[in-house]
Amino acid sequence: MNPYVEILRPGNAIMALIAVVLMAIIGKTYSIGIILGAISVFIATGAGNTINDYCDSEIDKINKPERPIPSGRITLKNALYYSLILFVIATIIGFFISFENGVTVILCSILMILYAYDFKQRCLIGNICVALLTGLTFVYGALITGDVYLGIFLGFFAFLMTLSREIIKDTEDIEGDKKENANTLPIKYGAKNAVIIAVILNILTCLLSPILYIYNVFSIVYLLIVLVADIIFIYSAILALKDQSKENLHKVSKLMKIAMLIAFVSFAIGSII
């Protein structure tokens, strides 16, 4: 893969893009604004991933040596300029959609930059920042469709799921983060305690998921599909509690990403059927 594409982490960027598409499906709103919104979210997320890799170049030599910067395929200088250009492009597209969307892109871009330079190394603040950004993608899409309150509601569920996974990812990367004197949750309070907090968030998400059916936001089909996501979340929680090794937590993180994707699909199908 081309390093300038790889550094965007297109898989993560597509996950963010999906939130905008989901709001379009749920709101039955299909327009050029949705297409531009999806593109701007993809670009902004890619810019955030790039600036994050720029700031984490030393840590990634230990945790992720295969990434474009530590592997030498992209220089630090080029990565910085690349991310800034992408942020500008995403912002321009956001303002083309609406003033509100443009302002949202700016706020999210600032959050991503602050996260990369400072928040990531602060206990729990970095995790909350990433989770908030994920939730805001639903709000961003809702600003286009006009379903702002629903966007906030779904964004809250995305926030909980993402926060749990981010804590697991920090626990997975504890070795490299310690060498960089980071102050993440697992470093400050221990891997076991961090995993317990992630598991509590997992269980909370599962317990709250039926609310979207109970209050007639989505149909019973949503409930059946989201049940699959809930089962995967619970299974990943059990795995994480049993073993906090880097290899196992990497597996848990992947399972949680799959569960999140299934949950997002349940939002869309539950609004159609």
Say how far apart CA 75 and CA 251 lie, in whole Å: 30
Say how far apart CA 116 and CA 206 lie, in whole Å: 30
pLDDT of amino acid 48: 93
Three-state DSSP class for 64? coil
pLDDT of amino acid 199: 92
Say how far apart CA 120 and CA 133 lie, in whole Å: 13
pLDDT of amino acid 118: 82
Give residue 190's region: left, alpha or beta (phi > 0; psi -120 to 50).
left
pLDDT of amino acid 222: 92
pLDDT of amino acid 180: 67
**Sign of torsion over alpha carbons 124, 129, 130, 134:** positive
Q: Model pTM?
A: 0.87
**What residues in the chain have per-residue pLDDT under 50?**
none
DSSP 122: S
pLDDT of amino acid 228: 94
Q: Are 230 and 181 in contact (CB under 8 A)?
A: no
Return the structure tokens found at 48: 């955030």
Considering the domain 3-272 in this protein, what is its CATH number? Answer: 1.10.357.140
Three-state DSSP class for 180? coil
pLDDT of amino acid 46: 94
**φ and ψ at residue 72, rounded to 5 degrees:** 85, 5
**φ and ψ at residue 8, rounded to 5 degrees:** -70, -15
Domain ranges in the chain are 3-272
Q: Are 21 and 34 in contact (CB under 8 A)?
A: yes
Q: Specify the residue for token string 């995967």.
A: 232
Helix-strand-coil percent breakdown of the chain, rounded to 5?
85, 0, 15
**φ and ψ at residue 199, rounded to 5 degrees:** -65, -40
- The alpha-carbon radius of gyration of the chain (Å, integer) is 18
Return the structure tokens found at 183: 């102050």
pLDDT of amino acid 135: 93
Q: Are 174 and 190 in contact (CB under 8 A)?
A: no
Number of H helices and E strands in the chain, helices first, is 14, 0
Return the structure tokens found at 194: 């961090």
Query: Residue 66: which residues within 8 A CB-CB, separation 6 or more?
Result: none
